[in-house]
Amino acid sequence: MPVVIVHMLAGRSAGAKKLLIKEVTAAVASTLAAAPESVRVIIQEMAGEHYGIAGLPVEEYRARKAGDKNKPGKRHAGK
């Protein structure tokens, strides 16, 4: 019995989670040649303050990344 645990930030709609469960189940069943009825999907939601990226709370990290996009600076080749 395959069990998939999805950790994600809270805030997505019930419809989005329902679709996630459907799509993950289909992918696991297909990949492992398992009956869809045997696949379990567990969604564990967490508040943003319980999640960090690059040493920062996720909201602060996102704010800094958004700020970096608005700053003038070196452009990458090809852009």
Mean pLDDT of the chain, nearest integer: 90
* Domain range summary for the chain, segments of one domain joined by +: 3-70
Instruction: Judge whether 3 and 40 are in contact, CB under 8 Å.
Output: yes
Instruction: Indicate which residues carry an active-site annotation.
Output: 2
Q: Say how far apart CA 21 and CA 24 lie, in whole Å.
A: 5
Residue type, 15: G
Q: pTM of whole model > 0.85?
A: no
Q: Please state the CATH superfamily assignment of the domain spanning residues 3-70 in this structure.
A: Macrophage Migration Inhibitory Factor (3.30.429.10)
| Structure confidence by residue, pLDDT tens digits, 41-66 | 999 999 988 999 999 999 899 999 99
| Collapsed DSSP state (helix, strand, coil) of residue 52 | strand
Q: Say how far apart CA 3 and CA 42 lie, in whole Å.
A: 7
Residue type, 14: A
